[in-house]
Amino acid sequence: MNTDDEIAELWIAAASAAGVDISRELLEKEVINRFVPKVMQRIAVKAGAEVVEKWAGRLIPLTSSAIGCALNYYFVRAWGERARAHFRQKHLEARRRFAEEQMRLPGTPSAALPS
């Protein structure tokens, strides 16, 4: 006697064995009225869990892809800024060396040097 259905069957069998046919119908209605809401609630819980599982299966990949997109954007942006600063510095050093070489050449006026 573990489930509600087994208990209901036991009561119906006991009523039938006692010869109570009219009360058997009443007992069946009572059992149905008592146990159907419990069964319906269990079905609703399982259906709700399935819906949650279904939507979680859809939302988790979307959420993780949005997080990955944001992280990738900021990572590429930060490294891009570092690369821009590095190559700007190398460019300025190359211009300085070029200007120094131009100063060392004979016949170059000093007024033509960039400041």
Q: For residue 89, what are the CA distances in angstroms to 83, 95, 96, 97, 110?
A: 10, 10, 11, 12, 24
Exposure b/e, 22-36, CB count within 10 A at least 16 = b:
eebeebeeebeeeee
73-101 tens-digit pLDDT: 999 999 999 999 999 999 999 999 999 99
Q: Is the pTM above the cut of 0.85? A: no
Cα(67)–Cα(87) distance, integer angstroms = 30
pLDDT at 18: 58
Give the residue from 37, 55, 39 showing the smallest Cα distance to 3.
39
43-64 tens-digit pLDDT: 777 778 888 888 888 888 889 9
Query: What is the pLDDT averaged over residues 15-42?
Result: 67
Contact (Cβ atoms closer than 8 angstroms) between residue 102 and residue 113: yes
Cα(109)–Cα(104) distance, integer angstroms = 10
Say yes or no to pLDDT of 110 above 60. no
Say yes or no to pLDDT of 2 above 70. no
